[in-house]
Every structure is written in structure tokens, then in C-alpha cells.
């Protein structure tokens, strides 16, 4: 097996054993990017020079015996929604084309402090609005399993980069499923931590009360390792939890032993039925059976208010986003467009023209929707009501977690659909996040683990595990147990079944 196909944990071991160097590993990934990213388009910006310099520093630290973390020297890709000092940060939008932040997001600062060379910035739906990366102003990312299909979104770039072995690790962000749903449709692992578990400082906000950054990897253990690097309290984020993280790596290792005795698994009634692809449901049921085999007790739980989650989400998100995106006004940074034929235009006219030219359709849709939801006269009916529905959904979770230690569902209702298929049908697009949204509304952690290929199309499906707030370790334990059982069944990683990409 070539080095780039190994897991991050294995690469860390290879580095420790002197089998390879960070410079070599980084170069191998840069080569892979050069070979396949022309067709995958996972990256918006590749920083070969910077990554190699960081890798050389890592190798020097290793020689001096002064490693910064377990993942020191293992390269990583970062979603383009996190501010990176000296590296372009566009959020997939024309309005930020060429913007180079003068500061690092806390997550990025922690990656640097842990010695992970940053390969580049990954593609995404504009300002993370979407479930397919088709809303990127720089063109869509293609699913490595089938280049005609979407890689999920908004973090399709990070998921595709990891699935296509362009990076062993990546950072994503998840507002309604943007880490987990791309994980599901690309056969990779994605984790949305407990809200407040990973700093949002430097994460260009979509919906502040829902956003969370998290790991995008090929294995559960890799996610745990990365989560421990980026997680924990940050005084620059007022909503950050001032408590130590649970021992996530230990939980993943415990789960990998395959023993889930005494663990109660709740299957959410509302997240199945009409509109759920049979092949996805088959893989889901198979996974549930494997958990039972590992000793888990399975119960069915009902979360009756989950049916309102989508509506609440599409009121809260646009409302917060409409305000967050007001700062993109062509005054201090980003695109400045003068209205045609008006060289003496006022600031306000330039704002209007720039925002029209700089934002894509989906962003405009949601800004208008959010402006409407916050307008006087509608606030109580929309935003206010949506916040109450959040309470109801949190209560559903509380009740469910009395009966079960973790809750499970398919991560997304379908496998990857064709590029363009749902592009101008917002509602159909929004339905992709049906199963992932409740966790964001309630702030609870969730993981998506590959559950195999759907029979009808041979494309990956995902298995979602949700845990109570602050109990992220449960996601890792159950996720690692399922992963171990499935790997045994498949005889190797699911990604081995993916078609080879040209140039590979």
C-alpha cells in the first residue's frame, strides 16, 4: 500500500519509525494533488512552498526530539472558511477573491502549533451554503467515487480531498451537516463536535449558533487524534466550553476492540421511511445489526419534533447569515464593483453593486430569506418561533438520551446525486440535511462513519451516531466499533473499492 493511502495514525507511526519524513509525505500529497485535483477540484488554493517549509521544520523538530504533537509532520487540508494568515481565504465566494487574512483562526493556529503542514484550502459551497459544493463560485468539487456526482457539501472539498488521498486529514465545518453529509457520500469519516467544543474564532460564520469545525478523515481514530489537536477551550470564542475534552483517542481505541456490551443504541423512528433510498436503509440496518452483534442493546426512540427541524433551521440560519454577511460591503476588504456607468457612485451604490456581483444565487436567496425572517412584523412568527422549536428538539434529545446512550440514523437520505440535478431546486437540496440538522439545533455531537455501498448504485452511504452534549467520546467509541466490524466484513477500507482516478 502506498504511503498516501495510509491513515494519519499510521503515517505518524511511519514518521516515528523513521520510515519516512514529513517533507517526503508532504511532497507525496502535493504530487497526488497535482495528479488528480484537475478532475476532483477539491482545492481552491495549494500552498506547496509553505507546506514543505512547515514539513522541513517538523523534520528538524523530530531530529531534535522536540515534537509538538502526535500528528507533528502529518499534512492536512483546511476548508476555505477558516482564516489562514498569509493564505487566501475565499469561503468559495467571489466577494472574497484574493483576500489574505492578517490572522489565523484558532483551529488553524492549533494545527500550526501541533506541527501539521497545511497543504492548502479546500473547496466549499459559497459561505458554506449548500449540500453539494455546486454553489462554490470557483466551480464544483467532484466526487472521487464518480466524477459526475456531487461530493456533498458544503465541505465537499475537504471530504473529496481525503477520499482521493490528496490529504490524510482535513478540517471541515458543520452548520447543518456540512462535515457529516460529505463524509457519507464520499465514504469518509466526519465529526461535528459538541457546540462550543472547537473554537469558532476565525471561522467565517454562516450561522453562529449552529457552526462547528471538526475533523474530516478516513478513520475514526484519525478523527479522534485530530479532534484532540483542535478542540478545547478558547478565550477568544465566548461560546467555547471551558472544560477539558473527554479522552477521545482512548474512546476510539476502546471502541476498536469491538466490544459494545452495555451500550444502549437508540434508532430514531423519524429518520427513516419515505424518501429514504432503499440501499442506504439496507446499509443502515446492516450496521445496526453489527452493533447488536458487538453487544449493544438496540431500542427504538421517537423524536417527534425532528419533523420541524428543517423549517427551524431554514429560518435561524438565513437570519443569522443575513447579518453575518452584511460585512461584505466592498469597503474594507474583498470585491469592489462600481455600478455600470456611474464613476461617481456613492458608497451605498457601490455596496449594492458589489454585493450583487460578489454573491451567488444561493447566498442571495438566503440573505433575502433571513432579512425577511428578521424584519419587523415577522420576527416572532419566524425567528422567535424557530428558537422555540430548538427548545422542543433539545427536549426530544434529552428524552431520547434517557433511553439510549447514543442515537443512530443514516447520515443522509440518499447517496451522491448527479451534479446539476438539484441545483435549482432549493427544497430538494435542503432535504439532504434532514438527518444531520437536529444535532446542530441542539448542539450535540455527531459522527458519520461509512456504512458500505448502496446496492442500487454502488455508492457510499453513511451511518450517523449522535451523543449527548459533551459526550463526544461516545461517538468515537461506537463509531470505532462499527468501523472495526465493517472493515472485518469488507476485508479492508471501503475506499479500496473506489475507482482509481486518472493519474493515480
Partner 1 sequence: MPEITRDEVAHLANLARIDLSDAELDHLAPQLSVILESVASISGVAGDDIPPTSHALPLTNVFREDVVTPSLTPEQALSGAPAVDEQRFSVPRILGEEA
Partner 2 sequence: MTMTDTLVGFDDVLASYDPALGLEVHVELNTNTKMFCGCPAVFGGEPNTQVCPTCLGLPGAMPVVNAKAIESAIRIGLALNCEIAEWCRFARKNYFYPDMPKNFQTSQYDEPIAFEGYLDVDVDGEMFRVEIERAHMEEDTGKSLHVGGATGRIHGADHSLVDYNRAGIPLIEIVTKPIQGAGEKAPAVARAYVSQLRDLILALGVSEARMDQGNLRADVNLSLAPKGSGVLGTRTETKNVNSFRSVERAVRYEMQRHAGILDAGGSILQETRHWHEDTGITTSGREKSDAEDYRYFPEPDLVPVAPSRESVEELRGTLPENPLLKRARLQGDWGYTDLEMRDVIAAGVVGLIEETVAAGASPQAARKWWLSELGRRANDAGLDITDLDVTPAQVAAVQALVDSGSLNDKLARQVFDGLLAGEGTPEEIVAARGLAIVSDEGALSAAVDAAIAANPDVADKIRDGKVAAAGALIGAVMKEMRGQADAGRVRELVLEKLS
Q: Which stretch binds partner 1 (CB under 8 A): 73-81, 151-159, 276-284, 350-358?
A: 350-358
The separation between CA 263 and the C-alpha centre of its own chain, rounded to angstroms, equals 26
175-234 binders of partner 2 (CB under 8 A): 200-205, 207-209
SS3 sequence, 233-258? Answer: CCCCCCCCCCCCCCCHHHHHHHHHCC
Does 306 interact with partner 1 (rule: CB under 8 A)?
no
Does 313 interact with partner 2 (rule: CB under 8 A)?
no
Q: Write the DSSP assignment of 44-63 as a string of letters.
A: EEE-HHHHHHHHHHHHHHHH
Is 366 within 8 Å of 129 (Cβ atoms)? yes
Minimal CA–CA distance to 191: which of 148, 145, 156, 227? 227
**CA–CA gap between residue 365 and residue 359 (Å, rounded):** 10
Binding residue for partner 2 (CB under 8 A) from 73, 75, 92, 101?
A: 101
Residue 178 catalytic? Answer: yes
Alpha-carbon distances of 459 from 45, 160, 187, 202, 327, rounded to whole Å: 28, 14, 8, 34, 40
**CA–CA gap between residue 503 and residue 144 (Å, rounded):** 13
400-439 binders of partner 1 (CB under 8 A): 426-427
Binding residue for partner 2 (CB under 8 A) from 37, 134, 228, 329?
A: 329
Query: How many residues at the interface with partner 2, by CB under 8 A?
Result: 45
Does 274 interact with partner 1 (rule: CB under 8 A)?
no
Q: Label residues 115-144 b or e (16+ Cβ within 10 Å = b).
A: bbbbbbbbbbbbbbbbbbbbbbbbebbbbb
Binding residue for partner 1 (CB under 8 A) from 137, 367, 484, 498?
A: 367
105 contacts which partner out of partner 1, partner 2, none, CB within 5 to 8 A by kind?
partner 2
C-alpha grid cell, residue 263: 451500550
Q: Which stretch binds partner 1 (CB under 8 A): 115-123, 322-330, 474-482, 493-501?
A: 322-330
Binding mask 201-230 for partner 1 (x = CB under 8 A): --------x---------------------
Q: Which stretch binds partner 1 (CB under 8 A): 106-114, 149-157, 167-175, 310-318?
A: 310-318
Residue 79 catalytic? Answer: yes
**CA–CA gap between residue 258 and residue 414 (Å, rounded):** 28
Nearer of residues 352 and 497 to partner 1, judged by Cβ: 352
Does 235 interact with partner 1 (rule: CB under 8 A)?
yes
Is 445 within 8 Å of 194 (Cβ atoms)? yes
User: Least distance to partner 1 from the beta carbon of 250, Å?
Assistant: 23
Does 379 interact with partner 2 (rule: CB under 8 A)?
yes
Residue 346 catalytic? Answer: no
Catalytic residue list: 79, 154, 178
Amino acid at each position: 500500500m502506498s504511503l498516501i493511502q495510509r491513515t494519519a495514525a499510521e503515517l505518524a507511526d511511519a514518521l516515528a519509525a523513521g520510515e519516512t519524513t514529513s517533507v517526503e509525505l508532504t511532497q507525496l500529497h502535493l504530487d497526488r494533488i497535482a495528479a488528480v485535483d484537475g478532475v476532483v477540484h477539491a482545492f481552491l488554493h495549494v500552498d506547496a512552498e509553505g507546506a514543505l517549509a512547515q514539513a522541513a521544520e517538523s523534520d528538524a523538530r523530530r531530529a531534535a526530539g522536540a515534537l509538538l504533537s502526535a500528528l507533528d509532520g502529518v499534512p492536512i487540508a483546511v476548508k476555505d472558511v477558516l482564516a489562514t494568515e498569509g493564505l487566501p481565504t475565499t469561503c468559495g465566494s467571489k466577494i472574497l477573491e484574493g483576500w489574505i487574512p492578517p490572522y489565523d483562526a484558532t483551529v488553524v493556529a492549533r494545527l500550526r502549533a501541533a506541527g501539521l503542514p497545511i497543504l492548502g484550502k479546500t473547496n466549499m459551497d459559497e459561505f458554506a451554503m449548500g449540500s453539494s459544493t455546486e454553489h462554490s463560485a470557483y466551480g464544483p468539487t467532484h466526487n472521487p467515487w464518480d466524477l459526475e456526482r456531487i461530493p456533498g457539501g458544503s465541505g465537499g472539498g475537504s471530504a473529496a480531498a481525503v477520499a482521493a488521498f490528496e490529504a490524510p486529514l482535513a478540517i471541515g465545518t458543520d452548520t447543518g451537516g456540512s462535515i457529516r453529509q460529505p463524509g457519507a457520500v464520499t465514504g469518509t469519516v466526519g465529526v461535528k463536535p459538541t457546540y462550543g467544543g472547537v473554537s469558532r474564532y476565525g471561522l467565517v460564520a454562516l450561522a453562529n449558533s449552529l457552526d462547528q469545525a471538526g475533523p474530516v478523515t478516513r478513520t475514526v481514530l484519525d478523527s479522534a487524534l485530530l479532534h484532540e489537536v483542535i478542540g478545547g477551550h478558547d478565550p477568544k470564542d465566548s461560546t467555547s466550553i471551558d472544560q477539558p475534552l473527554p479522552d477521545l483517542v482512548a474512546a476510539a481505541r476502546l471502541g476498536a476492540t469491538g466490544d459494545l456490551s452495555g451500550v444502549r443504541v437508540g434508532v430514531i423512528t423519524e429518520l427513516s421511511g419515505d424518501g429514504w433510498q432503499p440501499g442506504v436503509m439496507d446499509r443502515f440496518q446492516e450496521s445496526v445489526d453489527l452493533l447488536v452483534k458487538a453487544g449493544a442493546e438496540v431500542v427504538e426512540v421517537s423524536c417527534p419534533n425532528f419533523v420541524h427541524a428543517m423549517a427551524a433551521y431554514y429560518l435561524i440560519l438565513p437570519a443569522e447569515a443575513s447579518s453575518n454577511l452584511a460585512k461584505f460591503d466592498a469597503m474594507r476588504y474583498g470585491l469592489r464593483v462600481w455600478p455600470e456607468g456611474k464613476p461617481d457612485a456613492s458608497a451605498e451604490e457601490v455596496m449594492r453593486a458589489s454585493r450583487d456581483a460578489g454573491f451567488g444565487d444561493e447566498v442571495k436567496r438566503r440573505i433575502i430569506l433571513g432579512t425577511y425572517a428578521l424584519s419587523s412584523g415577522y420576527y416572532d412568527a419566524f425567528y422567535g418561533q424557530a428558537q422555540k422549536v430548538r427548545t422542543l428538539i433539545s427536549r426530544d434529545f434529552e428524552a431520547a438520551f434517557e433511553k439510549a446512550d447514543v442515537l443512530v440514523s443514516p447520515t443522509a437520505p440518499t447517496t451522491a446525486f448527479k451534479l446539476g440535478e438539484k441545483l435549482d431546486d432549493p427544497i430538494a437540496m435542503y432535504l439532504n440535511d434532514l438527518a444531520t440538522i437536529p444535532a446542530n439545533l441542539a448542539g450535540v455531537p455527531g459522527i458519520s462513519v461509512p456504512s458500505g455501498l448502496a446496492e442500487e448504485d454502488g455508492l457510499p452511504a453513511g451511518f450517523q451516531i449522535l451523543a449527548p452534549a459533551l459526550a463526544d467520546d461516545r461517538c468515537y467509541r461506537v463509531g470505532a466499533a462499527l468501523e472495526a466490524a465493517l472493515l472485518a466484513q469488507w476485508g479492508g477500507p471501503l475506499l479500496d473499492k473506489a475507482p482509481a482516478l486518472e493519474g493515480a
